[in-house]
Amino acid sequence: MQNIKNIIFDYGNVIFNIDFTQVQQAWKNLGINNADEFYGHRQQDPVFNLLERGEISNADFRKRIRELANKPELTDQQIDDAWNAIFVGIPAGNHELLLRLKEKYHTFLLSNINAIHEDYVHRHLKSEYNIDSNDQFFEKVYYSHLVGKRKPEAPIFEQVLNENNLDPAETLFIDDSPQHLETAKQLGLQTFLMTKPDTIQKFFERESLV
């Protein structure tokens, strides 16, 4: 990690811990017995990518879940609650670290996310930390459903680099998905794969970047 001037963060399992198995269990708790067929970290129905690109509405997403589960009686709230079960929590100290890093580097958030999850995150930030959004922690926030692009495709990385005049060689990208890091490497960024039990707090101390 040399000559770092810019840092691009992923969100899930980098800043806010998530657990895909909790969603699968939440589906099952609703009597959805085929959840493994349409939702998983490695493979999932196209509806999830469409939602992350902002190409379908929340209502159409819920309609598709009812179709996939063959359970037309599911309410919007039941679907949203199960979908939001992915969120575990934000480790103590992460927000403080982000504020410290923002003073030293140009920092950005780049997340594959969707409108339902964004709403949940904002409610969580308000109830737990009395803040409205992640905007205060970064120079700019890029959410896939708002920009119409998602990782690991190159255009979303190129948008962040170009809009902010970032030199890829001076930019560190942190993510928990190897396929996302591959694209970043091809574009010339420095990268770090976040894997449990490592944390961003340990990483930045270890690399003497904070």
pLDDT 10s digits, 24-43: 999 999 999 888 888 875 67
From CA 173, how far away is CA 191, in angstroms rounded?
5
Q: Please identify, among 87, 102, 134, the residue that sits at the C-terminal boundary of a domain.
A: 87
- Chain segment 190-206, per-residue pLDDT in tens: 999 999 999 999 999 99
Region 67-94: mean pLDDT is 97
> 191 and 114 in one domain?
yes
Domain count, the chain: 2
From CA 2, how far away is CA 166, in angstroms rounded?
15
From CA 121, how far away is CA 50, in angstroms rounded?
20
CA distance readout (Å), 90 to 118, 129, 130: 15, 10, 14
* Whether residue 93 has pLDDT greater than 90: yes
> 150 and 80 in one domain?
no
| Domain region containing 142 | 6-16+90-206
> 114 and 195 in one domain?
yes
**Helix, strand, or coil here: 164?**
coil
Question: What CATH number should be reported for the domain holding residue 38?
Answer: 1.10.150.240
What pLDDT score does 42 carry? 62
- Chain segment 141-174, per-residue pLDDT in tens: 999 999 999 999 999 999 999 999 999 999 999 9
Question: What CATH number should be reported for the domain holding residue 170?
Answer: 3.40.50.1000
- Chain segment 111-140, per-residue pLDDT in tens: 999 999 999 999 999 999 999 999 999 999
Q: In what order do the strands lie in the sheet with 190-193?
A: 140-143, 106-111, 6-9, 171-175, 190-193
**Helix, strand, or coil here: 178?**
helix
From CA 162, how far away is CA 176, in angstroms rounded?
23
What pLDDT score does 144 carry? 98
> 169 and 154 in one domain?
yes
**Helix, strand, or coil here: 12?**
strand
3-state DSSP: the chain helix, strand, coil percent, rounded to 5?
50, 15, 35
What pLDDT score does 13 carry? 97
* Whether residue 1 has pLDDT greater than 90: no
Give this prediction's pTM.
0.95
